[in-house]
Structure 1
Amino acid sequence: MVQPGSTEELILWIGTIGMALGTLAFIAMGWGEKDEQKQEFYIITIFITAIAAVSYFSMATGYGLIEVAGIDIYWARYADWLFTTPLLLLDLALLAGANRNTIATLVGLDVAMVVTGLAGALATEGATFRIAWWGISCGFFVALLYFLVSTLSQQAAKRSGDVAATFSTLRNIVIVLWTAYPIVWIIGTESTLGYIGLTTETALFAVLDLAAKVGFGFILLRSRKVLDSVSSAAAQSAD
């Protein structure tokens, strides 16, 4: 149970407010947009932070927390990742002009990564099984990174200079920030290693989430020129 007035609760409320403000900002940025291709980016990005805001609200109010084998597990965090990380990848894939097979591969690897990570958090057999599940999840993550830096990057390289540059920036942000998640997990409480406490773990995840969702969204949506280029390329492909 989140203790009322604790630092942990404050962190979760900051996460809630940050995601909510990001959602409102993205709605304002896309307000009045008529182009369907550009609307797609706004819709996806708005849902990313909106889902995250609901997740953080549930954790801040104590509903997103359960106890497994004596360990506090924020299940709502995994529910958040299960929906928002595929949407983040979809934003990247649309920016790169990826085909359906590439998108399906990325989303499939991502879902497998999150689900196996959740299995590790919920494992009751002890640290060995938790860390084993973490290793499996990391395996899916490595495969995901391979597709990001190979197939998806190759497709993005065919785009205009501004689009390709924005893709590279967002891809690198995803690689760096997403790599930090399993590191925080393994040194935190859910692995049972406990090199950092739950409050520190919660703070680190909150910083990563805000950067990976709100920060990602601002970089993607701030450039009308990039979105115009993607929309024009999509229209030409349709013709």
Structure 2
Amino acid sequence: RKQLVYSSCRAESAGKALADVMPDETVHNILLTASLCMGFSAFSYEFMPTGDARRFNYIAMAMTGFCTIGYVSMYNGVGVIEVRGHDVFWMRYLDWAVSTETFLLGLAMLSGADRWDTIFILAMDAIGVLCALVGALIPAVVAPAYLLGAVVFAAYNYRLFGTMQVSADRMGAAVSAKYKRLTTQSMAAWCVYPVVYLFCEMTRALDETTEVALYACCDVIAKCVCCFLLLSQP
């Protein structure tokens, strides 16, 4: 009998803990909508013709596929913890760590970049995402983490528009033009993330619903739209 009561209490506590991390209805709907956008995009990229450059379909599908998993997880309350009274969606950063690396790998493949340029941009991006995660989880170090993240973001953008653009130029006028256009558009979209982070995780000037909505919009543009441009532009 005592064991039954104990088990009942544990089940009740577990249910309460799960309820505590489940997002509210509005946030829930935003996460669901983003999940559907990502999932539909990942599926549709399979059927976009790219001729001999089929590998870029796989890049686009992988990027949006990882995003779909991340958003479905957050929709179900997975990857969310409370820090100083605010929900931190740490799954978002795991999603970024995988999806942005995948897209940057695609840019490296498109430009014909050498091994060291590729390693550099992937390493800098990983450090930037880690800085964002640490800042969100440990508010005491959010300012230095934000600054370091901004520095590494600038560093790999310098490489993207520098030696990697030169590599793309060697691939011919068509590849050079496509690489420059795609990199400019995607990095312009990525520049919005530090601004959203400043007003959400860093200063908490915006509420959770607005935060989730802004990040979802950014993700749809930076992932779905940019991958579509990767596959659709001649």
Please indicate the TM-score interval, normalised by the length of the shorter structure. 0.7 to 0.9
Q: C-alpha distance in 2, partners of 1:117/1:138? A: 10
1:39, CA displacement in angstroms? 2.6
What aligned pairs does 1:156-235 form with structure 2 within 5 A after superposition? 156-188=168-200, 190-191=201-202, 193-223=203-233, 226=234
1:7 is matched with: 26
1:160, CA displacement in angstroms? 2.4
Of stretches 166-175 and 44-53 in structure 1, the one that deviates more from structure 2 is 166-175
What aligned pairs does 1:100-115 form with structure 2 within 5 A after superposition? 100-115=115-130
- For structure 1, which runs of at least 5 residues remain unmatched after alignment? 227-239
Among 32, 46, 65, the alignment partner of 1:50 is 65
Cα deviation, 1:66-98, whole Å, max 9, x if unaligned, reads 112322110111000111111111111111111
Q: CA RMSD of the aligned region, Å?
A: 1.6
The amino acid that maps onto 1:51 is F
- Contact (CA 8 Å) 1:2, 1:8: kept in 2 or not? no
- The SS at the match of 2:205 is coil
Q: C-alpha distance in 2, partners of 1:181/1:3? A: 21
Question: With structure 1 as the length reference, what TM-score do the two structures score?
Answer: 0.84
Of stretches 152-161 and 94-103 in structure 1, the one that deviates more from structure 2 is 152-161
Q: C-alpha distance in 1, partners of 2:124/2:216? A: 23
1:116 is matched with: 131
Question: With structure 2 as the length reference, what TM-score do the two structures score?
Answer: 0.86
Cα deviation, 1:142-197, whole Å, max 9, x if unaligned, reads 11111111111121122222222221121112221111101100111x21x12221
1:26 equivalenced with 2:45 (yes/no) = yes
1:122, CA displacement in angstroms? 1.0
- For structure 2, which runs of at least 5 residues remain unmatched after alignment? 1-20
2:54 is matched with: 39
The amino acid that maps onto 2:100 is T
1:20, CA displacement in angstroms? 0.2
The amino acid that maps onto 1:39 is R
Of stretches 157-166 and 66-75 in structure 1, the one that deviates more from structure 2 is 157-166
Of stretches 106-115 and 149-158 in structure 1, the one that deviates more from structure 2 is 149-158
- Contact (CA 8 Å) 2:189, 2:222: kept in 1 or not? yes
Among 134, 141, 153, the alignment partner of 2:153 is 141
Larger Rg: 2
Q: C-alpha distance in 1, partners of 2:190/2:204? A: 20
- Contact (CA 8 Å) 1:26, 1:42: kept in 2 or not? yes
1:16 is matched with: 35
1:34, CA displacement in angstroms? 8.2
Report the number of matched residues: 214
1:3, CA displacement in angstroms? 3.8
